[in-house]
Amino acid sequence: MKNFTRWGIILLSSSLFSSAQEFRSLFNGKDLTGWKGEGYEVVDGTIVCTPKGKNLITEERFSRYILDFEFRLPPGGNNGLALHYPGTGDSAYVGMECQILDDTSDQYKDLKDYQFHGSLYTLLPAKRGHLKPQGEWNHERVTVMANTVKVEVNGTVVLETNLEDLEKKFPKHQGIKRRSGHIGWCGHGDAVAFRNIKIAEMPPTPNTEELAKEGFKPLFDGKSLEHWKVDAGSENHWVPANGVLKYDGKSTAKVKDLWSVKPYGDFTMVFDWRWNGLGSVMNRPVINAAGDETGETLQVEELDSGVYLRGDSTSQVNLWNWPVGSGEVYGYRINKKLAPEIRAGVTPKEKADRPVGEWNHMEITMKGDRLTVILNGKKVIENAQLPGVAATGPVGLQHHGSSLDFANIWIKEL
C-alpha cells in the first residue's frame, strides 16, 4: 500500500530547523578520532591541513543535516568541503565540493565563478564578499535536506539550490545524484584550520496529523526511550536526538537489542531507517524466488539489523545489505523443514533498498500469522505465513553490530 498522504516527505526550510536543534561535535579538539585521511594535524584544538594534506573524511555517513563549523584561511588558502562523498574518488565529481578559498587573494582574481568561496565546484557559483579579513575566523553553516543544499557564510546565505534542478542541468555529474555520504575536508596543502565542527541530523518528516487520524501512535517520541526497555550498558549506545534514534552498534548490555515495553498482537508498524556507519566487505549469497541459495555470491558491504516481531528473534524482518534485500524473514527462509511456499513467501520479491546511507521507509503489518512488508513503496513480502509465531509480544530493534539510525516509528493496533 502506498500512502503518500500520510507519509509524504515534507521539504521544510532549514530555517525551521536551525534554532532549537541538538548539535553534536564531530571533532573532540584533541585528536582525529572519527575521521580518516592523511595530511592533517590537531594544533591548539583545531584541525589544520599540512603541506601533505589531501582528503580528511568522517567515518560516519550522513544524509539530512545541518553542519556548523569555523574556518581560518591563510593568505591564498585553498581547501574544500566534501558533501555526499562515497569515500573514494575525486570529491568534486563523485560527491560535491563546496569551495573553501581565500578568494580575496590576487592569485585568484581570474577564477571561474563556481570556484569562489561557498560555490559548488563546477556546478553553481555563490555570492561573493562575505569572508572576514585574512587570519580571522569565519563561521559557515551548510544545510543538506533531501534535495536542497544551502550555504551560509558569517550569517549570510551565499548559495541555495535544488539538487534535482542541478541534475537536469548537469546529467553526467555523479555527485549530485547522491543523497548521502561522508563529509570531509579537501586539502590542497595550505594551512587552512577548522574548529567547532558540529552537526545536527534530521529525519524525514511524515504527516503526523494524518498518521494520528488513521490510529497510529508514536513508538518513538524523537527525544527519549520512554516506550522501550533499555538494559544497563545500552544507555550511551541507543541515543535519541532531533527525532533520530541513533545506534552505534557497540552496546555492552546483556540484552543489546531494544524491545518495546508494550506487547502487540496484530499491528501495522511504520518507520524510517538508514545505515550511518561502515561495514566490512564480504561475499553474500544470491537467493532465488524460492528462497534457495543459487551458489552465486556477490561482494557487498556487510550491514545487518532487523525488527523482531512478537518477542521472537526467529520472526525477524531483516534490515541488511545482502543481495536479497531487506524485508526477508531469515529464520524462516533458511528452515528447510518448512513448506516451499512458506520459504518463498518470506523471500523478498525484489531488492527495494535505497543506496547505503540514504533513508528507507518500511511498513510492517502482522495479522494472525501473516506478514506483509512494504519497503520504499514496494511490497516485498505479501501475506507470508509465519507458522508458530506467537500471538502477541513486544517488537524489537536488533543489535547486530552495525551502526544505523531509526526515526518516525509509529504503530497501529489492528
Same domain, 351 and 389: yes
pTM of the model: 0.92
Boundary of a domain, candidates 176, 201, 226 = 201
Answer yes or no: is 9 within a domain.
no
Q: How far is CA 176 from the centre of its chain?
A: 16
Could you read off the pLDDT of 143-202 as tens digits, one per residue? 999 899 999 999 999 999 999 999 999 999 999 999 999 999 999 999 999 999 999 999
Boundary of a domain, candidates 167, 201, 235 = 201
Same domain, 338 and 368: yes
Answer yes or no: is 1 within a domain.
no
Same domain, 58 and 157: yes
Same domain, 74 and 101: yes
Kindly state the DSSP code that residue 30 receives in the 8-state scheme. S
* Helix (H), strand (E), coil (C) string for 348-366: CCCCCCCCCCCCEEEEEEE
Same domain, 354 and 375: yes
Same domain, 27 and 129: yes
CATH number of domain containing 257: 2.60.120.560
Give the chain's residues under pLDDT 50: 1-5, 7-19
Could you read off the pLDDT of 265-275 as tens digits, one per residue? 999 999 999 99
Q: Which residues neighbour 61 within 8 Å (Cβ) at sequence distance 6 or greater?
A: 180, 181, 182, 275, 276, 277, 278, 356, 357
Boundary of a domain, candidates 143, 172, 201 = 201
Could you read off the pLDDT of 11-25 as tens digits, one per residue? 333 333 334 679 999
Taking the CA of residue 133 as centre, how many other CA atoms within 13 Å lie in the half-sphere pointing to its CB?
A: 0
Same domain, 31 and 138: yes
Answer yes or no: is 8 within a domain.
no
Tally of structural domains, the chain? 2
Q: Angle at the Cα of 227 (from 226 to 229), degrees rounded to 5?
A: 90
Please give the pLDDT value at position 20: 62
Distance CA 268, CA 409 (A): 11
Same domain, 20 and 140: yes
Q: What is the mean pLDDT of the chain?
A: 93
Which domain, by its residues, includes 140?
Answer: 15-201
